[in-house]
């Protein structure tokens, strides 16, 4: 047998390991488990507690009551709010699943020209904040949007109206279509191509093979991503806030926003009860996701041979479908982002005004003159960098405890760490607001960026685990087992062997969290105060004040930073950022 250089190196490292300290493993494992439980429970318990009180939880003389639930369902118009929420989420899901599945088939399974380029561009909405995308769509397709005015000038009227439930769902569906695309693409790459080959041999054409073989095999991915997109549709705030509120269309998230942040006298009992209702619904949907993912064995077709499915030939449809795809990408991705960036460099963007006459750097100059804008950019960098490092460290410890230890409670810890998937951002923000108001000694953090770092970390623990866990599960346990045989404790073996080998996954985790923290806004709007603004909260404030130019300039900064991060991560580190 040939020598094992990797095993010899591991043994050499193990020989040099320090003598373990008694009880250190237990302290690290129980300490991290306790911290995770506290962090996840922190926003949930206060929301539940507030929903059972007759007044604000920080007021004296509270009494327990179930009256808030009755008041919520008897609130004038709340039935319509629930109906709007369900319709919006349903339409969003239908649109996103249709677009995502078609894109996965066209860009991933056919010989259409420029399919790979279209696939890359199709993903871009998932990288950007829904708030920025909303402003982009408003700038080009809104009532005073560039293309709307141009269409009205030529044809007398524009055939679209974004201030309706279908209009809002179209924007949300386009922004969430990459989720369905990713799941379908992942499923398509591991299916056995022999089934499609058999259909071809039997004389089935391209469309028949796609309809009878390929799409049924994608059904688990379509179903799972549909539940995920429906959940996201329930949680979306930016699109209903920008396009629904002006038209009098209220959904559950804007109901929470208008009765909480935007209200001069918030009804805390009503807000908390609505938040509990949303939390229960999302918990049920996340449970359903797990059930769907666990019951897809009958669709598994992955065989022993690793063969690449042969692309479907489109023949005469190649270029017409390429043209349709190009128009879609241009209309839904390039144009909204491009026109938003262009608007930041103009004093007025209208087809009636020559572009050369309205070009200016005034929006950026004004942005630099207002401290709140500079502070929000700086705070966003701090929250993303510092929060990304701290969250990555915490997630790494959770991962090695759950996947590489004999900790007694590793199963429940894993469940608790994944539970924030079921906590909408608005609920997390409301919960942390109540937690910091309720717990003595935490009030000093309420007006700082630390409350944002804590809230963002809790909300995105599952995202970080998704980046770290796959590599950890692929690492052979023999590596750290060798150190344990030499007498090292679990913590020493993890710190000296496992964590260094996880470095690529930790880099990917940090980059994903940095980008996610940088674009986050739903949690922050319930927590920020003067001095702790981030880009998302400042964008909302500027938008409500009608500062379209400044909004465009600040949104351009966010797009530029995220664009640089995504491009660098993919080019330098090979990290695919789908979180």
- Clarify whether residues 286 and 160 are in a common domain: yes
* Token pair recorded at residue 559: 């797009």
Cβ-proximal residues to 569 (8 Å cutoff; 6+ apart), any chain: 508, 511, 575, 577
- Clarify whether residues 337 and 447 are in a common domain: no
pLDDT-derived band at 398, boundaries 50, 70, 90? very high
d(CA 446, CA 129): 24
pLDDT tens-place string over residues 65-95 = 888 898 888 888 899 999 999 999 999 999 9
Q: Is 539's pLDDT higher than 90? A: yes
pLDDT at 334: 94
Cα pseudo-dihedral 188, 189, 193, 197, rounded to 10: 60
In angstroms, how far is CA 112 from the centroid of its own chain? 30
- Clarify whether residues 326 and 212 are in a common domain: yes
Model pTM score: 0.85
Is 407 within a domain? yes
d(CA 433, CA 532): 14
Is 476 within a domain? yes
- Clarify whether residues 367 and 242 are in a common domain: no
Cα pseudo-dihedral 438, 439, 442, 443, rounded to 10: 30
Q: Which of 42, 26, 30, 44 has the alpha carbon at shortest distance from 413? A: 30
Is 410 within a domain? yes
Burial 207-238 (b: 16+ CB within 10 A, else e): eebbeebbeebbebbbbbbbbbbbbbbbbbbb
Among the candidates 305, 337, 359, a domain finishes at 359
Mean pLDDT rounded to a whole number for the chain:
84
Q: Which of 374, 415, 391, 424 has the alpha carbon at shortest distance from 506? A: 391
- Clarify whether residues 293 and 409 are in a common domain: no
Is 107 within a domain? yes
Q: Is 215's pLDDT higher than 60? A: yes
- Clarify whether residues 270 and 395 are in a common domain: no
| End-to-end CA, the chain | 43
Among the candidates 329, 359, 389, a domain finishes at 359
Section 210-233 average pLDDT:
78
- Clarify whether residues 131 and 242 are in a common domain: yes
Burial 169-205 (b: 16+ CB within 10 A, else e): bbbbbbbbbbbbbbbbbebbeebbbebbeebbeeebe
Share of the chain above pLDDT 70, in %: 84
Q: Which of 355, 390, 571, 373 has the alpha carbon at shortest distance from 464? A: 390
SS3 for 231?
A: helix
* Token pair recorded at residue 92: 């969003």
Beta bridge partners of 53: 64
d(CA 169, CA 96): 9
Is 549 within a domain? yes
How many domains are there within the chain? 2
Q: Compare 484 and 32 and report the one with higher pLDDT.
A: 32
Is 40 within a domain? no
- Clarify whether residues 344 and 404 are in a common domain: no
Q: Which string of DSSP letters, residue by residue, matches 61-102? A: T--B-SHHHHHHHHSTTHHHHHHHHHHHHHHHHHHHHHHHHH
Q: Compare 69 and 447 and report the one with higher pLDDT.
A: 69
- Clarify whether residues 288 and 417 are in a common domain: no
SS3 for 196?
A: helix
Section 245-260 average pLDDT:
91
d(CA 278, CA 424): 8
- Clarify whether residues 422 and 536 are in a common domain: yes
DSSP at 358: H
d(CA 249, CA 84): 7
Strands (E), 353-449: none
d(CA 64, CA 66): 7
Is 511 within a domain? yes
Q: Considering only 114-118, 428-432, 435-439, 551-555, which range has the smallest mean pLDDT?
A: 435-439
d(CA 37, CA 46): 14
pLDDT at 53: 87
Q: Which of 95, 124, 120 has the alpha carbon at shortest distance from 108? A: 120
pLDDT tens-place string over residues 281-316 = 988 888 887 776 554 444 333 344 445 567 777 888
pLDDT at 339: 94
pLDDT at 109: 77
Q: Is 424's pLDDT higher than 50? A: yes
**CATH code of 532's domain:** 1.10.3720.10
Q: Which of 34, 47, 66, 54 has the alpha carbon at shortest distance from 438? A: 47
Region for 191 from its dihedrals, namely left if φ exceeds 0, alpha if ψ lies in -120 to 50, beta otherwise: beta
* Token pair recorded at residue 39: 């962090």
pLDDT at 393: 94
Provide, for the chain, the percentages of residues in helix, strand and coil under a 3-state DSSP scheme, each rounded to the nearest 5.
75, 0, 25
- Clarify whether residues 185 and 219 are in a common domain: yes
Among the candidates 333, 359, 385, a domain finishes at 359
d(CA 110, CA 526): 46
Is 286 within a domain? yes
How far CA 331 is from CA of 161, 191, 324, 334, 336, in Å, comes to: 15, 32, 11, 6, 7
Section 438-450 average pLDDT:
78
Environment class of residue 433 by beta-carbon count within 10 Å: exposed (0-12), middle (13-18) or buried (19+)?
buried
Q: Which string of DSSP letters, residue by residue, matches 8-72? A: HHHHHHHHTPPPPPTTHHHHHHHHHHHHHHHHHHTTHHHHHHHHTBSS-TTSTT--B-SHHHHHH
pLDDT at 167: 94
* Token pair recorded at residue 530: 């003067």
- Clarify whether residues 365 and 354 are in a common domain: no
Cα angle for residues 324, 326, 332 (degrees, 5° grid): 100
> What domain range is 151 assigned to?
45-56+64-359
d(CA 86, CA 106): 30
Tell the residue number behind the tokens 């071809």, with chain if given. Answer: 200
């Amino acid at each position: 047998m040939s020598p094992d250089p990797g095993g010899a190196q591991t043994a050499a490292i193990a020989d040099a390991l320090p003598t373990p300290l008694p009880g250190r493993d237990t302290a690290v494992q129980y300490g991290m488990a306790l911290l995770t439980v506290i962090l996840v429970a922190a926003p949930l318990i206060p929301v539940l507690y507030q929903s059972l009180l007759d007044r604000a939880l920080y007021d004296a003389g509270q009494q327990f009551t179930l009256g808030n639930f009755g008041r919520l369902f008897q609130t004038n118009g709340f039935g319509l709010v629930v109906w709007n929420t369900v319709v919006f989420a349903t339409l969003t899901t239908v649109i996103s699943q249709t677009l995502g599945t078609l894109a996965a088939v066209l860009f991933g399974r056919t010989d259409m020209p420029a399919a790979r380029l279209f696939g890359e561009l199709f993903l871009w909405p998932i990288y950007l904040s829904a708030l920025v995308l909303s402003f982009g769509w408003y700038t080009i397709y809104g009532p005073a949007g560039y293309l709307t005015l141009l269409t009205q000038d030529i044809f007398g009227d524009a055939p679209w109206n974004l201030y309706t439930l279908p209009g809002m769902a179209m924007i949300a569906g386009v922004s969430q279509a990459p989720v369905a695309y990713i799941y379908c693409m992942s499923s398509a790459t591991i299916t056995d191509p022999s089934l499609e080959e058999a259909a071809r041999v039997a004389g089935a054409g391209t469309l028949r093979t796609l309809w009878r073989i390929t799409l049924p095999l994608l059904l688990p991915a379509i179903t799972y991503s549909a539940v995920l997109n429906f959940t996201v549709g329930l949680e979306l705030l930016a699109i209903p806030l920008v396009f629904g509120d002006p038209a009098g269309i209220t959904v559950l998230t804007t109901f929470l926003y208008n009765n909480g942040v935007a209200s001069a006298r918030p009804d805390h009992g009503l807000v908390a009860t609505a938040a509990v209702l949303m939390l229960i619904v999302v918990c049920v949907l996340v449970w359903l996701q797990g059930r769907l993912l666990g019951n897809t064995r009958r669709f598994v077709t992955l065989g022993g041979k690793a063969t690449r499915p042969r692309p479907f030939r489109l023949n005469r449809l190649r270029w017409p479908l390429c043209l349709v795809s190009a128009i879609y990408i241009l209309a839904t991705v390039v144009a909204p982002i491009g026109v938003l960036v262009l608007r930041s460099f103009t004093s007025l963007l209208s087809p009636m005004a020559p572009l050369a006459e309205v070009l200016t750097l005034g929006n950026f100059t004004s942005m630099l003159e207002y401290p709140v804008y500079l502070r929000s950019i700086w705070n966003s960098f701090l929250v993303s960098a510092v929060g990304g490092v701290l969250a990555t460290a915490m997630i790494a410890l959770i991962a090695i405890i759950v996947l590489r230890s004999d900790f007694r409670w590793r199963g429940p810890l894993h469940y608790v760490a994944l539970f924030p998937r079921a906590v909408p951002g608005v609920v997390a923000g409301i919960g942390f607001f109540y937690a910091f108001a309720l717990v003595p000694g935490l009030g000093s953090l309420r007006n700082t960026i630390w409350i944002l770092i804590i809230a963002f970390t809790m909300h995105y623990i599952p995202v970080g685990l998704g980046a770290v866990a796959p590599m950890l599960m692929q690492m052979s346990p023999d590596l750290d087992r060798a150190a344990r045989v030499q007498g090292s404790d679990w913590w020493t073996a993890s710190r000296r062997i496992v964590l260094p080998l996880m470095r690529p996954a930790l880099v990917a985790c940090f980059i994903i969290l940095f980008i996610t923290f940088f674009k986050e806004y739903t949690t922050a709007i319930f927590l920020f105060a003067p001095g702790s603004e981030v880009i998302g909260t400042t964008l909302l404030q500027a938008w409500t004040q009608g500062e379209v130019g400044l909004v465009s300039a600040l949104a351009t900064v966010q797009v530029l930073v995220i664009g640089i991060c995504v491009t660098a991560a993919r080019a330098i580190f090979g990290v695919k950022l789908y979180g």
